[in-house]
Structure 1
Amino acid sequence: MIRRTASPAGFDRKLLAPMIVGSILNPVNSSIVAVALVPIGVAFGAPPSETAWLIAALYLATAIGQPVAGRLIDLHGPRRLYLVGAFLTGLAGVIGTLAPNLGVLVVARVVLGFGTCAGYPAAMHLIRGEAERTGKDSPAGVLTAIAIATQTIAVIGPSLGGALIGLGGWRATLALNIPLAALGLVLGALRLPKSAARPGDRAERGLDLPGMALFAVNLVSLLLFLMNPGVDRWYLLVAAVVAGAAFAVRELRTSAPFIDLRLLGGNVPLVLTYVRALLAYVVAYSFLYGCTQWMEEGRGLSAAQAGIAQLPLFGIGILASILAGRRKEVRTKLMIGAAGQVVACALLLALGSGSPFWLLLIVAGVFGVPQGLNNLALQNSVYHQADPDRIGSSSGLLRTSGYLGAIIASAVGGAFFSHGADTAGLHHLSWFMLGTAIAFLAVTLADRSLGRIGAARETGGAPA
């Protein structure tokens, strides 16, 4: 149980600042590196296939760490995990700023991945806890604020990165984490509530360490294979299958599983939400990383200009989130978002080395519609579909699905740009993105359960 000092009359607004700061730590580092990949490659003499590890390292660590941190938050409350995460984020900023080679920089990104794990599950846990404390419906405005903050920082990341690189070189994009971490530590220490021990059996509150280890082995093996797929790396797939099978057996037999597969298996709508997140983020991150690299190499823009070219994505994405945040239902948001991705991917096929700058702005603007709608709809879907007692780990799994999509996008981009980010590679990537966007649209069309969220009553039937 979490002790609250605020009046039970409404949501404790003092929690908003630490929730938003914690939630943006990962998106800012996910997106800001997009314009730094080329300068880092030049500095260390590394091709795109090697600098792609800067993306994969962050997501590999975070994909594993998010559900683990979420489960710890479910059991022990958000404060301690939030503060530890903020400290690791600052440490990663120091390591990355001083990195003498690409290897150390990859290590910094791994530490950064683990450091940014706790912010989002902590925010979702706090929202659920405040709703239970006040006995009121889901605070849609708070959920919308979190969604807008995370997607805003993700979209302005390339522009911010371009500005920082112009001022202090690519190292400035890592140094940014130091003041952000300091702010998180101060806000977390001053405003996050302390957690008292909850009543219950010790076994029910224990950590499923074997389950977590098997989950990590399964995910690491799978993602390492996806980063560089090939027949000669068959052993990684075997390791993933064996670890996955052992994980399933373990989780089905233990009384306190890390991920309750029985509960998850009986919650098909939540599983479909994770599938949609995977597909949506494959498209989103393929555009963020792939198109940005092409703008710099294939189109010949500077890092700052490539960042400016992403600004319509920011403006239209924010506008879409604000307008959509007024409505509780998610099906229409996902339908429009899915259709928007299909149209935007088709437009990428029209780009070439001589494309005018205004056409780049139009394409980025079209991508802004699904950017604003999908993130908000997926977040709200998990909030209403997940077991309230596992909101932290369920939110972590949502992010894990997104990070898996980002790693797939990074691997595919590295394959298509193996000889440089030229226009031919961009068009191959665009066809892949288009197929993924169509799959996202099909899964959304087939899921009739989405119509129940926000239809019966404001909260979509979920306790808040």
Structure 2
Amino acid sequence: MSVHSRWLMISVGLGILLNPLNSSMVSVAILSLKNVFQLDFTGVSWIIFSFYIASAIAQPVMGKASDLFGRRKIFLTGLVVAFIASLLAPLSPTFGWLIVFRIVQAIGTSMMVAVGMALVRIHITEKQATAISVLSIFLSGAAAIGPFIGGVIIHWWGWPAIFFVNIPFVVVSFLLSWRNIPKDEPSTSVALGLSYRKWFDLIDVLGILLFTTGLVALLLGLLSAKSSGHISLGNVIALLVGLVLLAVFIRHELKATAPFIPLRTFAKYPAMTWVNVEFMLVNVLYYSLFFGIPSYLQMVRHVSEFQTGILMLSLGLCSLVTSPIAGRWIDKSGPRPALLVSAILMTFGSVWLVTLNQTSPVISVCLALAAFGISNGLNNVGMQAALFQSSPKEIIGVASGLFNTSRYLGTILSSLLIGIVMGGEFSFEGFQLLGIILTVIALSLVFMSRRRLESGQLQDS
């Protein structure tokens, strides 16, 4: 691999790590934000919701935009947007403004993730698999150590530091990217000649608006009712509006020529659909623990941000160590055995959460974190391999996009689950209930993985 290729990977890697880093660092900032802005737990949860909803929408949209207007332009623009958001977010006078800048940050970092892999595939022609695996380390590594970094910098400099820490990454990535990412070739597409109406149809603006407003209305109705302890007329209206908009969204997507979420593809390939359903459930489990444990440690057990970050490091390290081992195992045995072991580990971790009490040693949560970390390492490789097995080659690009959509839906549902279970205040009783729900979900994954393994053995025989 040439020197230029290595510098290109570093340039892109420093940019794409910002999305998972910022999505994970905030897990240890919930208590600080709750106290500073005087919010209940449901209210402060929107710092998580907003980022994942914006990322889920921005990444496929920016992927399409990069095909039309140039990947270098989109990547560099994303760095500028992320810089502005990271600079202004700590200066937010209200929590509402913080959410606005958080959404802008999600859009900016998503612009880089959406085109980062494509830049490497196009401009690095030798040892592409190695290059892509290096970028995967940037992505998974940033997510894994995010809580640790967040815990350390919040302990010393407060919650604004989780935004300021992005600035050196952005500046270095911008300087390197400006120099190392080749200029976009003159566009041969007709994008510049499209009318606004045709452009809106191409990226399915109506579908995006229906999906976003419907999801936000549904979340507002559910979370407001849980936080207040009773169902008001406003809650009912919000729920009904959300359900109606999502129903209209489904009808629109079935008719759209370039749908935001191609629902017909799900119906056409049921095996691929089940992989996506399982992947969504896996992310519900993982991110419920990812965001639930730091809140439990800080709000229930009164552990500091610094100590919480140290404890959460066991989750990330186990995931990072397991991923390369899982790759070799899955190459030999296929994804089914690894996914079954992963489901069993998640069940063990969920059951362990239920057995904890208010006098249990704080360090005992590391057993659950280790179990979920190992399972996450297995899932990172196993689910992707299962997707490739179940998806026809001619739609692998669409399948990969749907796969990422399932990931984000899982993270959004995990945040919703925590918000509904906890309501206005994070409590020990709510944490135990969360553990019970996660156990049920994990057992369902064990059942699905076992069925897949048995069906695979029957096919092999």
Shared fold, TM over 0.5: yes
CA 1:213–1:382 in 2, change beyond 3 Å: closer, same or farther? Answer: farther
- 1:120-173 C-alpha deviation (Å, 9 max, x unpaired): 332332354368x55x8x71x444333333222212211111111112111101
Classify the secondary structure of the residue corresponding to 1:46: coil
Counterpart selection for 2:359 from 354, 360, 364 = 354
1:79, 1:194 within 8 Å by CA — same for their partners in 2? Answer: yes
Give distance in 2, aligned partners of 1:332 and 1:77: 41
Counterpart selection for 2:84 from 68, 74, 91 = 91
Counterpart selection for 1:429 from 430, 434, 437 = 434
Q: After superposing the two structures, state which structure 1 stretch, 226-235 or 92-101, moved more.
A: 226-235
Give distance in 1, aligned partners of 2:17 and 2:394: 24
Classify the secondary structure of the residue corresponding to 1:17: helix
Give distance in 1, aligned partners of 2:271 and 2:413: 23
> Is structure 2 residue 432 aligned with structure 1 residue 412?
no
2:344 is aligned to 339
- 1:159-211 C-alpha deviation (Å, 9 max, x unpaired): 11111111211110111222222233223222223332576777999743462
Higher relative CO (CA 8 A, sep ≥ 6), structure 1 or 2?
Answer: 1
> Is structure 2 residue 34 aligned with structure 1 residue 41?
yes
CA 1:178–1:291 in 2, change beyond 3 Å: closer, same or farther? Answer: same
Give distance in 1, aligned partners of 2:117 and 2:30: 32
1:460 is aligned to none
Q: After superposing the two structures, state which structure 1 stretch, 372-381 or 167-176, moved more.
A: 372-381
Give distance in 2, aligned partners of 1:318 and 1:428: 29
Give distance in 2, aligned partners of 1:435 and 1:381: 23
> Is structure 2 residue 102 aligned with structure 1 residue 109?
yes
Give distance in 2, aligned partners of 1:239 and 1:284: 29
Alignment of 1:76-225 (within 5 A): 76-129=69-122, 133=125, 139=129, 141-196=130-185, 207=199, 208-209=201-202, 211-225=204-218
| C-alpha displacement of 1:281 | 1.1
- Normalising by structure 1, we get a TM-score of 0.84
> Is structure 2 residue 244 aligned with structure 1 residue 242?
no
1:298 is aligned to 300
1:71, 1:258 within 8 Å by CA — same for their partners in 2? Answer: no
Q: After superposing the two structures, state which structure 1 stretch, 348-357 or 330-339, moved more.
A: 330-339
Q: Give identity over the alignment, percent.
A: 28
Q: After superposing the two structures, state which structure 1 stretch, 36-45 or 147-156, moved more.
A: 147-156
Paired letter, 2:339: L
Give distance in 1, aligned partners of 2:12 and 2:344: 31
Paired letter, 1:438: L
Give distance in 1, aligned partners of 2:71 and 2:172: 17
Q: Which runs of 5+ in 1 are unaligned?
A: 1-5, 456-464
Alignment of 1:385-396 (within 5 A): 395-396=400-401
Alignment of 1:377-388 (within 5 A): 377-379=382-384
Q: 1 or 2, which has the higher helix percentage? A: 2
CA 1:267–1:182 in 2, change beyond 3 Å: closer, same or farther? Answer: farther
Q: After superposing the two structures, state which structure 1 stretch, 36-45 or 148-157, moved more.
A: 148-157
1:299, 1:352 within 8 Å by CA — same for their partners in 2? Answer: no
CA 1:379–1:189 in 2, change beyond 3 Å: closer, same or farther? Answer: farther
CA 1:77–1:151 in 2, change beyond 3 Å: closer, same or farther? Answer: same
1:270, 1:385 within 8 Å by CA — same for their partners in 2? Answer: yes
| C-alpha displacement of 1:289 | 1.0
| C-alpha displacement of 1:18 | 3.0
2:7, 2:176 within 8 Å by CA — same for their partners in 1? Answer: no
1:73 is aligned to 66
Give distance in 2, aligned partners of 1:441 and 1:227: 32
Give distance in 2, aligned partners of 1:22 and 1:15: 11
2:15 is aligned to 22
Alignment of 1:57-68 (within 5 A): 57-68=50-61
Q: Which runs of 5+ in 2 are unaligned?
A: 223-234
Give distance in 2, aligned partners of 1:103 and 1:200: 39
CA 1:58–1:202 in 2, change beyond 3 Å: closer, same or farther? Answer: closer
Aligned residues: 438
CA 1:435–1:393 in 2, change beyond 3 Å: closer, same or farther? Answer: same
1:279 is aligned to 281
Classify the secondary structure of the residue corresponding to 2:355: coil
CA 1:388–1:259 in 2, change beyond 3 Å: closer, same or farther? Answer: farther
Classify the secondary structure of the residue corresponding to 2:110: coil
- 1:252-302 C-alpha deviation (Å, 9 max, x unpaired): xx3x55555555654444433332321111111111111210111111211
1:69, 1:396 within 8 Å by CA — same for their partners in 2? Answer: no
Paired letter, 2:75: Y
Paired letter, 1:311: L
Classify the secondary structure of the residue corresponding to 1:300: coil
2:225 is aligned to none
Q: After superposing the two structures, state which structure 1 stretch, 320-329 or 373-382, moved more.
A: 373-382
CA 1:202–1:55 in 2, change beyond 3 Å: closer, same or farther? Answer: closer
Paired letter, 2:46: W
Give distance in 1, aligned partners of 2:380 and 2:153: 26
CA 1:247–1:388 in 2, change beyond 3 Å: closer, same or farther? Answer: same
1:438 is aligned to 443
1:161, 1:307 within 8 Å by CA — same for their partners in 2? Answer: yes
Give distance in 2, aligned partners of 1:127 and 1:436: 37
Give distance in 2, aligned partners of 1:324 and 1:143: 17
**Root mean square deviation of aligned Cα:** 3.3
CA 1:261–1:47 in 2, change beyond 3 Å: closer, same or farther? Answer: closer
2:155, 2:304 within 8 Å by CA — same for their partners in 1? Answer: no
Classify the secondary structure of the residue corresponding to 1:354: coil
